[in-house]
A and B are shown apart, each in its own frame.
Chain A
Amino acid sequence: MFRIRKIFDETMEQDVDEMKKSKIKLTGILRVIGLSAYFTFALTPIIWILMMSLKNHNDVIATPPKFIFTPTIENYKAITVGMKSYAFESVRPDFPKYFLNTFIIASFTVIVSLFLGTIAAYSLARFSFRFKEDIAFTFLSFRFAPELMVILPLYVVFQKMHLYDTFVGLILAYQLITLPFLIWVLRGFFEEIPREIEQAARVDGYTWWGVFRRISLPLVKPGIAAVVVLSFIFAWNNFIFAMILGSERTQPITLGILGFIGYERVLWGQMAAATIICVIPELLLAFFVQKYIIRGLTFGAVKG
């Protein structure tokens, strides 16, 4: 398609007028400027938070902001091993517990989504059955409504079914966020596998389940890697579901960090340190999975 488009453009070019070369150079410069602007925009808050987490309380609230200061790891110590270096420990939230909660919720959310989603995506990609497109659309439509709209009825249901403030309940609710996304992305990946590869495997003596396990699944590895990372991040960073459907027992970090905003004062430094720690697992996951996210693995299967 792209190639045809390209040739088509060239004809137009030839018949109408050629694009000026200086224009091309100009777009190049604009691109660099645009990218740098975005880069600054995206990175500044992160760097700011990092700096904040390494400052003591006085430095944090100093105006004008201090760029040169003596770094301290007191904030980190405070939220992890609970060094009582401040007089306001009564407001100190139980950070390790929140961290563990988040970890449990996000991991199981991804595992459940992956199991259900892969099978659903494959079925949507490969089998034809009644209301197929309607079902696919329904999955997607879960994401249309603002979360708040879903959450109130859900709250009532959860109360009645004793799912309120349970891990199972939260993991179930989180499926609303991760599952549609996972199904739609993986469906695309499955559809990209040439049907003939699967047919060849059928003729080679495998049942459809064998083909799924030995051919299709390995071929969508890059897709799975990508959705695992993104689903994990979605689940990890969710705030509103956890706030309404969970309470003290299941509270994740996102809510935990709020706890640093106390009645009498805000623990900016510890809040920043908590945020930084909170980002680490996501970074690690993305880093390890990255090598699997190589597209074009199917290249070479067909023709050439």
Chain B
Amino acid sequence: MANVVFDNVSKNYDDLRAIDRMSFEIYDMEFFVILGQSGAGKTTTLKMVAGIEPASEGTILIGGNPINHLTPEKRNVAMVFESYALYPHLSVYDNIAFPFHAPENRKSNEDIEHSVKHIACMLGIDQLLGRKPSELSGGQRQRVALGRALVRRPSVFLMDEPLSHLDAKLRNQMRKELKSMRKSFGTTILYVTHDYNEAMALGDRIAILHKGKIQQIDTPDDIYYHPGNIVIAQSLGDPPMNFLSGELSFLEERFSLRTKNLFIPLDFVRRQDLKSHIGKSVTLGIRPNHIQINTDKSVNSFQIPATVFVQEYLGDDSIISVKIEDAMFMILSTPEKRYAIDENVFLSLNQEHTHLFLSETGESLQIDSGKSI
């Protein structure tokens, strides 16, 4: 039960800068998710909070107290490891009870038994207490790892990709369970994942971490609908966002994107200060579910001509890959309509959900300091 503050924290491994000046606050009782590719520095961040890795620079505070100098056992944090890291020689019961035998949080045997049983019931593993980790399935081990972390009341609960080794079905199921149990954790949670579904489903706020740098911290919806740069835009969504590069031009008081053969009007761009970017290379971004695909050319509104590359039928919906000049676009559509390979189609973009980025830096041209166009 405490907030966590990163104040200008960096981490160097020899010459490599794994974390670069990270500053943010995780509020008390918040479910905070760090989303990033492998190698982005997510696990390093967690390990710095746990005290397994020392921070090279900056200060980490838990509940207002700097903890840099404390060894792991003094920090009162609990951690669930990606690999679960169960103690193979101990039974499930002893694994969960293990923290209570440490001098830091010793308890009487009755208290231990009570706590272990309580947590085991909550996680549905009360029948497995006598088993060894090697006798458990992946999902059960996962629960034991959760149980061991939850059994005491840590001030911060750290989770390192706890679901990544489960198969797809179990993962989706556990995700929902985590979310519904979340209130009973009663503590601040720092959760690390590479799966945007987990991040969006679980997080109160998400921090996007890329190459050791925090890109954006926001609520899931804000990050999804108002990404601050291309990297952020790419990290959420399945299929991922589509991009088309061209030159920003301004004709007859209208902005448009000029590619090799196309002139795409950008009516959603209203900021006049973009005029300074005219002539620069920009990238248009749009999500697969914000594109409409038509077989006939409409006369009323602008449409982008494209040819069908391939269509994938998925039952619930369908993904149509099309080529616009050399760029591949994916469109999420209903499964009923079928398209032939190399068929000519016309795309209309939902202007409200179209994004524009500066190609050179990747930064969004729509988002100022305050998130509006």
Contact = CB atoms under 8 A, between A and B. Distances in A.
Q: Pick the most buried of B71, B81, B101, B165: most chain A CB atoms within 10 A of its CB.
A: B81
B83 A194 contact: yes
Nearest to A221: B89
Contacts of B28: none
Interface string A205-247: 1110010001100110000000000000000000000000000
Given A204-B102, A205-B99, A215 B87 contact: yes
B102 A300 contact: no
Interface in B228-266: none
Contact of A304 (B47, B77, B87, B141): B141
A200 to B, nearest CB: 4
Contacts of B77: 203
Contacts of B105: 205
Among B50, B52, B137, max chain A CB count under 10 A is at B52
A302 interface: yes
B81 A196 contact: yes
A207 B98 contact: no
Interface string B264-308: 000000000000000000000000000000000000000000000
Contacts of B148: 200, 204
A201, A205, A214, most chain B CB atoms within 10 A? A205
Interface string B115-137: 00000000000000000111111
A300 B135 contact: yes
B347 interface: no
B79 A219 contact: no
Nearest to A197: B85
Contact of B86 (A199, A205, A214, A301): A301
A77 interface: no
B362 interface: no
B98 A201 contact: yes
B87 A197 contact: yes
Nearest to A196: B85
A107 to B, nearest CB: 27
Interface residues of A, number: 25
A202 B84 contact: no
Contacts of A200: 79, 81, 85, 87, 148
Contacts of B132: 300
A206 B72 CA distance: 8
B52 A297 contact: no
Interface string A124-143: 00000000000000000000
A214 B90 CA distance: 10
A197 B103 CA distance: 19
B187 to A, nearest CB: 14
Contacts of A215: 87
Given A299-B134, A303-B165, A304-B165, A203 B79 contact: yes
A215 to B, nearest CB: 6
A90 B352 CA distance: 111
B56 to A, nearest CB: 16
Contacts of B54: none
A202 B102 CA distance: 10
Interface in B186-245: none
Contact of B133 (A196, A205, A300): A300
Contacts of B158: 203
Contacts of A299: 88, 134
Contacts of B86: 197, 300-302
A2 to B, nearest CB: 20
B133 A301 contact: yes
Nearest to B50: A203
A204 B98 contact: yes
B212 to A, nearest CB: 21
A298 interface: yes
A298 B86 CA distance: 10
A299 B136 CA distance: 11
A202 to B, nearest CB: 4
B104 A205 contact: yes
Given A300-B136, A303-B165, A304-B138, A203 B78 contact: yes
A143 B88 CA distance: 34
A229 to B, nearest CB: 21
Contacts of A207: 71, 73
Given A200-B79, A207-B71, A298 B88 contact: yes
B83 A206 contact: no
Nearest to A219: B89
Contacts of A302: 83-86
A204 B50 CA distance: 10
B138 A303 contact: yes
Given A303-B165, A304-B141, A199 B72 contact: yes
A218 B98 CA distance: 14
B156 to A, nearest CB: 11
Contact of B102 (A205, A298, A301): A205
Contact of B84 (A199, A201, A205, A301): A301
B155 to A, nearest CB: 12
Contact of B83 (A202, A219, A303): A303
B147 interface: no
Contacts of A297: 88-89
B73 A206 contact: yes
A191 to B, nearest CB: 16
B51 A202 contact: yes
B135 A304 contact: no
Given A196-B83, A303-B138, A203 B52 contact: yes
16 contacts: A200-B148, A202-B51, A202-B71, A203-B158, A204-B99, A206-B73, A207-B71, A210-B102, A297-B88, A299-B88, A301-B83, A301-B87, A303-B83, A303-B84, A303-B138, A303-B165
Given A197-B88, A215-B87, A299-B134, 5 more contacts: A197-B86, A202-B72, A203-B51, A300-B136, A304-B165
Interface of A: 194, 196-197, 199-207, 210, 214-215, 218-219, 297-304
Interface of B: 47, 50-52, 71-73, 75, 77-79, 81-89, 98-99, 101-105, 132-138, 141, 148, 158, 165
Question: Which 4 pairs from chain A and chain B are nearest by CB?
Answer: A300-B134, A205-B102, A205-B104, A202-B72
